[in-house]
């Protein structure tokens, strides 16, 4: 196709980008990356119809398009609103958005048990990240948190309904990825819950993927339950020959032990595409049964974002986060009140520029350089 | 006495059945529409009439019809929203129960105008006996040749089906209604796309209130311009008001929109004044989700003009000093009513009816209910009132469907206008559980700012 496609110009937090028509605001912001990307708890780019429910990705549209530059009166869910040519979007530069997002985080947390110390998801939980970035120090909620009757979902998947934020991702996954859906949302309003209507176990080949899509610790892996904290394990990329799925996975290892197998995830916490370009959902056999190191061909350590708690045990393959603040501020780079490098004699090292772990040698060398 | 268009013949013996209805001049509009008018002409007539949606939002019906997408080869649908679940509103039930053929007649005209060959009435599950009445009426119309294939030899096919819901308030929201009609869980859809483009089974759909569709009949019979002469300004025609609460004559009244609120409450023709000689304290003029107003602001606007029963006058002053026409559920409260308890009751309702899809509404409604219960039981603190205000502010406008707004507005208005009553509950907890705050100063004449 030689014909050139017309791209839409959209400005998000003072950063302009050209995107394909039909892109959502959230995906346009993800193309820019960094701080201007709204958080998303329920949207999952690989699941059709997901999104629009959690309201954490609300943004302000300051100008609808070049043709109709009126602002939209309400905040819109960026995951389900498509960009128009000449649209101007405010995310972190809008007070209304910050305020609304604070509210949503508070709402999500009032009935959340906050049992992070015993939760297997801790460390890779989107709700933790969200409340760290947008939440307040304390809750104003002073009533009893809601609880649910326990539901058994079979030998592999553990359901903790109290932690659920009802994002519907697992429902869409069962519909779109696995052969059959046996669970769904029962009841309405704040007593709505994920359950199988009649106690049934979830056991078809791809149902384990609901664990990967769950943004919180509501659906966790029973074979990994209470085995370890994720930041003590090391993620490595590995693959195997599997006749059901691509076999491209991430192993979470401690020493020579494979503690957990998950799909590979991208920087938004979503399942990555495989090398063949298909969504990298993995089958139950790979996820739950292949727990021996001899089952796998190890490719190497996974790249981990330096901001993630999982990077704490890693010195190689750590990714530097994408910084956009200077661009958002129109070239003005916010400075700390005091730069530690101005006063410290030893702390002259840009740790992220070192290859491998920092040792006393690297400090000595730098001192000589001065 | 104002003119009646919808309920004029509602009490004729046997009007529920086709023979009597036909004898009283029923189905004239269908004959007129099918034999002499084009679909566009009907839409034009409705536009001219200035008819505004009677379900609550007051969106012009003719405009809504003209937005309907008309792609080739795709069916279009008309869905009548009879899922009337707003506390305080019971006008549609009355209309469907007493004069069901009026709705069916209106539906045939509207279906013709919109090109819908299959139309649905989505009725709430609790109205099971009304559903039976409607089904009998549909069958009678079918037997008389007003429904089915080639109606009156015009070549237009139309059939009507009555579908009961399971009794969820949320299914009165048009996209949730469509989901429920498709047999799914009644969760509102994310808009856009709007139903006019992608509605029932992905086809263009118009969802209208029962009363709006019934009003098409007099519009067709008398002409849009004639209809527009009734009422005031942009509030044309007549409106059904279901009055309840502490009044002498609760019931459904058809009013021409040119009378004042004071006349409506105190005149013997309508509500007949406050029961037991008590005084008026507050009123919710449009169903539970519209803001409550104290007596002084209800009878006079902030400008000092007397408030009329019209869309414009009721919303005069915005939400600061006004309210909304809503669906016409007129709830009157006398001096013995407690606003805090009342607000708690509404918050409990919205907590129970929230669909649980989006977080502000799912979590916020329950939180508001708990705080209101705490204040009502005399265990509240001053900061709880501010917290309530903050919660409602964070729900409003941030949800998928208007249920979040509907839950937030009554709480907001109660705090805005009755804050001293809330504070009295906090400062006098022991008294608050045994007696009411009373009329206080809510009925005192407004201070009208002297022109500078």
Closest CA to A264 of A235, A225, A221: A235
Q: Are residues A256 and A266 in the same domain?
A: yes
Q: Does position A202 have pLDDT exceeding 80, yes or no?
A: no
- The CATH number that applies at residue A49 is 3.10.20.740
Whole-number Å distance between alpha carbons of A258 and A255 = 8
Kindly state whether residue A2 falls inside one of the protein's structural domains: no
Q: Does position A6 have pLDDT exceeding 90, yes or no?
A: no
Tell me if residue B183 falls in helix, strand or coil. coil
Give residue-wise pLDDT tens across range A57-101. 999 999 888 888 888 888 999 999 889 888 999 998 889 999 999
Q: Does position A4 have pLDDT exceeding 50, yes or no?
A: yes
Nearest to A166 among B360, B362, B398 (CB): B362
Compute the Cα dihedral for B351, B356, B360, B363 and give only its sign. Answer: positive
Percent of chain A residues past pLDDT 70, beyond the cut: 93
Whole-number Å distance between alpha carbons of A197 and A186 = 7
Nearest CA in chain A to B366: A190
Name the region of A237 (left: φ>0; alpha: ψ -120 to 50; beta: rest): beta
CA distances from A118 to A177, A228, B144, B230, B244 (A): 30, 10, 70, 68, 53
B52-84 core/surface letters (b: 16 or more CB in 10 A; e: else)? bbbbbebebbbebbeebbeeeeeebbbbbbbbb
Whole-number Å distance between alpha carbons of B449 and B447 = 6
Q: What is the Cα gyration radius of chain B?
A: 23
B270 upstream amide cis, omega within 30 of 0: no
For position B121, what pLDDT does the model report?
93
In the 8-state DSSP scheme, what is residue B252?
E
Scanning the structure block, which residue is given the tokens 């009435």?
A: B121
Give residue-wise pLDDT tens across range A129-170. 899 888 888 889 989 999 888 888 888 889 999 999 999 999
B175 close to B355: Cβ distance less than 8 angstroms: no
Q: What is the mean pLDDT of chain A?
A: 85
Q: Are residues A276 and A182 in the same domain?
A: no
Tell me if residue B311 falls in helix, strand or coil. helix
Q: How many CA atoms lie within 13 A of A18 on its CB side?
A: 3
Residues 6+ apart with CB under 8 A from A359: none
Of A202, A226, A250, the residue at which a domain comes to its end is A226
Nearest CA in chain A to B350: A189
Cβ neighbours of A185 in B, within 8 Å: 185, 356
pLDDT tier for residue A370 given thresholds of 50, 70 and 90: very low
Give residue-wise pLDDT tens across range B179-197. 999 999 889 998 888 898 8
Contact B356 A103 (CB under 8 A): no
Interface test with B, best of A188, A192, A215 (most B CBs within 10 A): A188
| B18-228 CATH pick, 3.30.930.10, 2.60.120.510, 3.40.1350.10, 3.40.50.11540 | 3.40.50.11540
The pairing of strands A76-77 and A8-12 is: unpaired
What pairs with residue B256 in β-bridges?
B238
For position A1, what pLDDT does the model report?
46
CB atoms within 10 A of CB A55: 28
H helices present in chain A, as ranges: 25-32, 95-110, 126-134, 169-176, 209-213, 284, 325-328, 340-343, 360-369
CA dihedral B101, B107, B110, B112 (to 10 degrees): -100
Give residue-wise pLDDT tens across range B261-316. 999 999 988 888 898 989 999 999 988 989 999 998 888 888 888 888 888 888 88
CB atoms within 10 A of CB A23: 18
Closest CA to A89 of A35, A40, A26, A134: A26
CB atoms within 10 A of CB A256: 7
Give the gap in angstroms from C-alpha B358 to the nearest C-alpha of chain A: 4
Q: What is the Cα gyration radius of chain A?
A: 22
Give the gap in angstroms from C-alpha B305 to the nearest C-alpha of chain A: 30
The pairing of strands A318-319 and A304-305 is: parallel
Whole-number Å distance between alpha carbons of B234 and B312 = 8
Q: Does position A312 have pLDDT exceeding 80, yes or no?
A: no
Contact A190 B363 (CB under 8 A): yes
Q: Are residues A90 and A144 in the same domain?
A: no
Whole-number Å distance between alpha carbons of A53 and A42 = 6
Tell me if residue B228 falls in helix, strand or coil. helix
Whole-number Å distance between alpha carbons of A6 and B252 = 57
Residues B439-442: contacts with CB under 8 Å, at least 24 apart: B439/B279, B439/B281, B439/B335, B442/B281, B442/B282, B442/B294, B442/B295, B442/B296, B442/B417, B442/B418
* Interface residue ranges in chain A relative to chain B, Cβ cutoff 8 Å: 51-56, 58, 74-75, 77, 80, 99-100, 102-104, 106-108, 110-111, 140-141, 143, 146, 165-166, 168, 184-185, 187-192
For position A106, what pLDDT does the model report?
92
The DSSP annotation for A271-327 comes to BPB-TTSSB----HIIIII--SGGG-EEEEEPPEETTSGGGGG--SSEEPPPP-HHH
Closest CA to B119 of B82, B169, B166, B66: B82
* Residue B143 structure tokens: 């037997």
Q: Are residues A100 and A129 in the same domain?
A: no
Kindly state whether residue A3 falls inside one of the protein's structural domains: no
Of A82, A106, A130, the residue at which a domain comes to its end is A106
Whole-number Å distance between alpha carbons of B440 and B339 = 12
- Count structural domains, chain A: 4
Give the gap in angstroms from C-alpha A50 to the nearest C-alpha of chain B: 10
**Domain assignment of residue A270, given as a range:** 228-334
B398 touches chain A (CB under 8 A): yes
Q: Are residues A151 and A66 in the same domain?
A: no
C-alpha angle B117-B119-B124 in degrees, rounded to nearest 5: 170
B348 touches chain A (CB under 8 A): no
Whole-number Å distance between alpha carbons of A165 and A129 = 14
The DSSP annotation for B284-298 comes to ETTSTTSPPEEHHHH
Give residue-wise pLDDT tens across range A28-64. 999 988 888 999 999 999 998 888 899 999 999 998 8
Of A175, A198, A226, the residue at which a domain comes to its end is A226
Cβ–Cβ pairs < 8 A, chains A and B = 93
A304 close to A310: Cβ distance less than 8 angstroms: yes
Q: Are residues A283 and A365 in the same domain?
A: no
The DSSP annotation for B319-366 comes to HHH----TT-EEEEEETT--HHHHHHHHHHHHHHH--S-SHHHHHHHH
Compute the Cα dihedral for B303, B309, B313, B314 and give only its sign. Answer: positive
B112 close to B78: Cβ distance less than 8 angstroms: no
Contact B358 A54 (CB under 8 A): yes
Cβ neighbours of A172 in B, within 8 Å: none
**pLDDT under 70: residue ranges of chain B:** 1-2, 447-452
Tell me if residue B155 falls in helix, strand or coil. coil
For position A365, what pLDDT does the model report?
64
- The CATH number that applies at residue A180 is 3.30.70.20
- B240-334 folds as Ubiquitin-like (UB roll) (3.10.20)
Residues 6+ apart with CB under 8 A from A136: A102, A105, A106
* Residue A201 structure tokens: 């176990």
* Residue A102 structure tokens: 């604070």
Contact B363 A53 (CB under 8 A): no
Q: Are residues A117 and A221 in the same domain?
A: yes
Cβ neighbours of B357 in A, within 8 Å: 53, 166, 168
Q: Does position A367 have pLDDT exceeding 80, yes or no?
A: no
Q: Are residues A214 and A237 in the same domain?
A: no
Q: How many residues belong to chain A?
A: 370
- B339-432 folds as de novo design (two linked rop proteins) (1.20.1440)
Kindly state whether residue A79 falls inside one of the protein's structural domains: yes
Q: Are residues A316 and A358 in the same domain?
A: no
Kindly state whether residue A328 falls inside one of the protein's structural domains: yes
Give the gap in angstroms from C-alpha A165 to the nearest C-alpha of chain B: 8
For position A322, what pLDDT does the model report?
78
A262 close to A249: Cβ distance less than 8 angstroms: yes
Whole-number Å distance between alpha carbons of B145 and B328 = 34
CA B387 to chain CA centroid, Å, is: 30
Cβ neighbours of B362 in A, within 8 Å: 107, 166, 189-190, 192
The DSSP annotation for B51-67 comes to -B-TTTT--BHHHHHHT
Q: Are residues A136 and A218 in the same domain?
A: yes
Whole-number Å distance between alpha carbons of B400 and A90 = 20
Closest CA to A119 of A221, A264, A192, A3: A221
Q: Are residues A218 and A235 in the same domain?
A: no
pLDDT tier for residue A213 given thresholds of 50, 70 and 90: very high
Domain boundaries, chain B: 18-228, 240-334, 339-432
For position A279, what pLDDT does the model report?
87
Q: How many H helices and E strands in chain B?
A: 20, 11
């Amino acid at each position: 196709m030689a014909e050139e496609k017309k791209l839409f110009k959209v400005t998000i937090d003072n950063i302009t980008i050209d995107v394909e028509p039909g892109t959502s605001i959230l995906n346009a912001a993800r193309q820019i990356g960094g701080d201007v990307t709204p958080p998303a708890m329920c949207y999952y780019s690989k699941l059709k119809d997901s999104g629009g429910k959690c309201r954490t990705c609300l943004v302000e549209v300051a100008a609808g398009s070049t043709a109709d530059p009126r602002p939209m009166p309400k905040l819109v869910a960026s995951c389900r609103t498509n960009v128009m040519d000449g649209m101007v979007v405010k995310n972190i530069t809008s007070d209304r958005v910050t305020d609304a997002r604070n509210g949503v985080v508070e709402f999500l947390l009032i009935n959340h048990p906050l049992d992070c110390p015993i939760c297997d998801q801790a460390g890779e939980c989107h709700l933790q990240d969200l409340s760290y970035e947008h939440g307040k120090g304390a809750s104003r909620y002073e009533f009893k948190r809601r609880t649910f009757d326990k539901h058994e979902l079979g030998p592999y998947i553990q359901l903790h309904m109290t932690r659920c934020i009802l994002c519907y991702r697992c429902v869409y996954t069962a519909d779109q990825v696995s052969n059959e859906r046996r669970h769904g949302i029962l009841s309405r309003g704040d007593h709505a819950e994920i359950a199988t209507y009649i106690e049934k176990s979830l056991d078809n080949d791809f149902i384990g993927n609901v664990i990967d899509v769950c943004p919180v610790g509501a659906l966790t892996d029973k074979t990994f339950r209470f085995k370890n904290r994720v930041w003590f394990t090391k993620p490595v990329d590995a693959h195997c020959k599997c006749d059901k799925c691509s076999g491209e996975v991430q192993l979470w290892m401690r020493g020579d032990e494979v503690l957990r197998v998950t799909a590979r995830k991208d920087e938004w916490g979503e399942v990555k595409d495989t090398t063949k370009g298909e969504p990298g959902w993995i089958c139950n056999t790979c996820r739950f049964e292949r727990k021996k190191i001899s089952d796998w061909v190890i490719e190497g350590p996974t790249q981990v974002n330096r901001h993630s708690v999982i990077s704490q045990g890693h010195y190689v393959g750590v990714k530097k986060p994408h910084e956009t603040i200077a661009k958002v501020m129109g070239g003005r780079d916010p400075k700390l009140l005091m730069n530690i490098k101005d006063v410290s004699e030893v702390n002259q090292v840009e740790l992220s520029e070192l290859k491998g772990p920092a040792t006393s040698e690297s400090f000595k060398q730098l001192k000589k350089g001065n | 006495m104002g003119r009646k268009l919808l309920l004029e013949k509602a009490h004729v013996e046997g009007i529920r059945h086709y023979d009597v209805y036909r004898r009283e001049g029923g189905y004239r509009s269908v004959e007129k529409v099918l034999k002499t008018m084009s679909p566009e002409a009907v839409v034009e007539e409705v536009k001219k009439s200035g008819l505004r949606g009677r379900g609550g939002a007051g969106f012009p019906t003719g405009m809504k019809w003209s937005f309907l997408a008309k792609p080739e080869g795709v069916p279009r649908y008309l869905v009548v929203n009879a899922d009337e679940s707003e506390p305080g509103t019971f006008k549609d039930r009355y209309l469907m129960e007493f004069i069901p053929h009026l709705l069916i007649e209106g539906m045939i005209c509207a279906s013709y105008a919109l090109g819908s060959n299959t139309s649905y009435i989505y009725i709430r599950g609790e109205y099971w006996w009304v559903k039976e009445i409607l089904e009998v009426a549909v069958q009678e119309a079918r037997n008389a040749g007003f429904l089915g294939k080639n109606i009156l030899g015009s070549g237009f096919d139309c059939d009507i089906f009555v579908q009961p819901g399971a009794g969820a308030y949320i299914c009165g929201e048009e996209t949730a209604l469509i989901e429920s009609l498709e047999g799914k869980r009644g969760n509102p859809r994310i808009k856009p796309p709007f139903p006019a483009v992608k509605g029932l089974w992905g086809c263009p759909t118009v969802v209208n209130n029962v009363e709006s569709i019934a009003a098409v009949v007099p519009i067709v019979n008398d002409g849009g311009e004639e209809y527009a002469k009734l009422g005031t300004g942009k509030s044309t025609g007549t409106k059904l008001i279901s009055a309840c609460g502490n009044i002498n004559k609760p019931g459904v009244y058809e009013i021409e929109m040119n009378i004042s609120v004071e006349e409506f409450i105190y005149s013997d023709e309508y509500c007949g004044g406050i029961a037991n000689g008590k005084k008026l304290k507050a009123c919710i003029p449009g169903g539970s989700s519209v803001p409550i107003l104290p007596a002084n602001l209800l009878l006079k606007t902030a400008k000092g003009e007397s408030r009329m029963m019209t869309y414009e006058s009721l919303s005069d002053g915005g939400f600061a000093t006004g309210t909304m026409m809503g669906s016409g559920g007129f709830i009157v409260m006398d001096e013995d009513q407690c606003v805090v308890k009342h607000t708690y009751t509404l918050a409990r309702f919205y907590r129970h009816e929230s669909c649980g899809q989006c977080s502000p509404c799912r979590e916020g409604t329950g939180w508001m209910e708990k705080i209101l219960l705490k204040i009502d039981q005399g265990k509240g603190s001053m900061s709880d009132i501010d917290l309530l205000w903050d919660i409602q502010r964070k729900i409003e406008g941030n949800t998928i469907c208007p249920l979040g707004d509907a839950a937030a507005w009554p709480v907001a208005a109660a705090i805005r206008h009755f804050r001293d009553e809330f504070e009295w509950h906090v400062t006098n907890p022991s008294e608050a559980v045994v007696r009411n705050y009373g009329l206080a100063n809510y009925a005192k004449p407004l201070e009208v700012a002297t022109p500078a």
